[in-house]
Amino acid sequence: MSRELNAQRILSVVQRATQIAARSELATLLEQTLDLFVEEAGAEAGTLYLYDSEHDELVFHVVKGDPESQRLLGMRISAGRGVAGAALRAREPLFVPDVARDPRWDRSTGELAGMELRTMYCLPLILEDRPVGVVQVFNLPSTAVDGADELALLRILGNVMVSVIDKARLLDEARRRELRQRALADIAARLTTTLDRQQLLTLIMDYARELLDCEATSVWEIDDEDETMPVLRSHVATGERGEQVAGVTVPLGQGIIGHVVATGGIIRVDDVTRDVRHYQGVDQMSGFVTRSILCVPLHAPKIELGAERGRVEARIIGGAQALNKIGGPFTDDDVDLFESFANLAATVLQLSRLYADTQDLMLGMIKALVEAIDARDRNNQHHSRRVSDFSVAIAEELGLSDEQVYHVRIGSLLHDIGKIGVPDAILDKPGRLTDEELIEMRSHTTRGYDIMSQAELKRLLRVELPALVQHHERLDGNGYPYRISGDEMVWISRIVAVADVFDALTSARPYKAPWSAETAISYLSERKGTEFDPACVDALARARARGHPYVKTQGERAGARGAGALPSA
């Protein structure tokens, strides 16, 4: 082979390497780099490893050969193992004339490839004495190694590509970090717009599964409602078989997740079959096969509620799992990222639990107060509860949002709160009220508004307050206390006004027998658009027609008590 031809080949190889270097996508760059090595060496197969400095391992990134060889992709071997490890340690290329007889050859790995391997050239990729990877080509023709020039050509190619590969890998890692930062920013932004626990946890775990490149993720929370037998309950599980895992419980203290929750430590297991702590019950129930796991505790943050209200102390409330890392074991970077996601998940759980507890406390106190007030009116007990049920049925039939339905539930429960200031003699009077008594009775609208408009409550009840003062107003302006009309009536007031009259008509009073539901709806329908909002009346009629469980009259509820309690808002 002449020097001139050799120079032409070198120039051609460098030009092609330069074209490949223009590829910024790491996977494509590695694929084409190995193709060029295999072609220039006249080889039949090849592999390209990248060096993982964190674990001192070589990772199979590209494999060329028979179809069975593809099983090697993603595999990891010790950086000191096999011919590749020997070349990397020596910082020099190695030629093996008989692979099968070379004691350095790792047969356990070679058996995964189906083809027979005869010769091998192994070239370490070193940049400033720092290992970047290893290229191996197999079954080279004898002419490929008949002179130093041929092997020098492969070394030149390696020297050209090593810096390109290193830069592409750094760029790929930077992109991954950017994606992770974007994910965290997106989750943080969602936290400011919703407290829907299921939605937020699913978002967090979906991001975690994607960015950690694993098969599944899950969030588990301590459920100690039964103090004698607390468990860990799965709230969200992503990936294949995730639906089967959601809601599953694990006895507290069992499994890797239980150990993490109990100790507050972080556990990484590359092969769960070798860890006696692995709880197989979930795999058996779901059909999912766990191979590797990264498990971190959920540290709920300390939340300051103000000097007068105390604080919610920081504590471990559960754990998060990432399962089956694709292409190798979980890394230190994975641990740091998953901890970030777990901290967000813990914050979501803590805030949603605090929010739910606050809501339950508020609703419970309102119900207790309303029941106490309704109990004073012996002629109309449980009136507020029934009006709330009817109002919720109307709101749901109108297709209002969950948040709006919640406001309707609270506003309708409180609509008669002002009766707390009406004398018992007027509330219990069996006959018609005098003009003076009627004025006193009607004052419950403004009185209720004033009571619930205190500084501590007005902001919290700003949506509900119109229902207290306007539920006796009418669209035609003939209601009270202010005789407002049309659009002056707030939407929540229109709902409660219809529900209030429906209950008044269908309930027994000392001065009248109860009307049937059908007669009451007919009465309301006749006054649609004049006294009552047409959409609200029609919604009540539809809810009644389709058997909505909340649209039961006083008499129907009394008759149903023997068969079990009705659902109530």
Task: Give the pLDDT confidence of 51-83 residue by residue, as tens digits.
Answer: 988 889 888 888 888 777 777 777 788 888 889
Task: Tell me which fold the domain 3-173 belongs to.
Answer: Beta-Lactamase (3.30.450)
Evaluate if residue 41 carries a pLDDT over 60.
Answer: yes
Instruction: Give the C-alpha separation, 343 to 350, whole Å.
Output: 10
The pLDDT of residue 99: 86
Q: How many CA atoms are closer than 13 Å to the CA of 428, on its beta-carbon side?
A: 7
Predicted TM-score (pTM) of this structure: 0.56
- Token pair belonging to 218: 């899950």
Q: How many CA atoms are closer than 13 Å to the CA of 441, on its beta-carbon side?
A: 15
Instruction: Return the CATH number of the domain spanning residue range 194-349.
Output: 3.30.450.40
The pLDDT of residue 409: 94
Instruction: Give the C-alpha separation, 106 to 120, whole Å.
Output: 13
pLDDT tens for 99-125 read 888 888 877 766 556 678 888 899 999
**Could you count the other beta carbons within 10 Å of the beta carbon of residue 203?**
22
Q: Which residue has the higher pLDDT, 355 or 419?
A: 419
The pLDDT of residue 562: 46
- What phi and psi, each to the nearest 5 degrees, are found at residue 545? -65, -35
Q: In which band, very low, low, confident or very high, does the pLDDT at 557 lie, cut at 50, 70 and 90?
A: confident
- Token pair belonging to 563: 């068969």
Going from the C-alpha of 357 to that of each of 318, 361, 392, 419, the distances in angstroms are 18, 6, 21, 28
The β-bridge partners of 414 are: none
Stretch 392-415: mean pLDDT, rounded? Answer: 94
| Radius of gyration for the alpha carbons in the chain, expressed in angstroms and rounded | 37
Q: Which residue has the higher pLDDT, 397 or 2?
A: 397
CATH class, domain 377-563, is: mainly alpha
- Residue pair 272/289 in contact (Cβ under 8 Å)? The answer is no
Q: Which position has the token pair 């692995």?
A: 278
Report for 234-248, 342-356, 366-380, 465-479: range of highest mean pLDDT = 465-479
C-alpha closest to that of 352 among 215, 508, 198: 198
pLDDT tens for 497-542 read 999 999 999 998 877 899 999 999 999 999 999 999 999 999 999 9
Between CA 225 and CA 230, with CA 226 as vertex, the angle to 5 degrees is: 90
- Residue pair 296/337 in contact (Cβ under 8 Å)? The answer is no
The pLDDT of residue 415: 94
The pLDDT mean for the chain works out to 84
Q: Where in the chain is the domain with CATH 1.10.3210.10?
A: 377-563
Percent above pLDDT 90 for the chain: 33
The pLDDT of residue 226: 73
pLDDT tens for 158-168 read 888 888 888 88
Cis peptide before 481 (omega within 30 of 0): yes
C-alpha closest to that of 372 among 358, 383, 387: 383
Instruction: Give the C-alpha separation, 116 to 538, whole Å.
Output: 80
Residues 6+ apart with CB under 8 A from 423: 440
pLDDT tens for 130-139 read 999 999 999 8
pLDDT tens for 244-280 read 777 788 888 888 998 999 899 999 998 888 888 888 8
Q: Which residue has the higher pLDDT, 143 or 404?
A: 404
What is the DSSP-derived secondary structure letter of residue 206?
A: H
Query: Which residue type does 478 have?
Result: N
Q: Where in the chain is the domain with CATH 3.30.450.40?
A: 3-173, 194-349
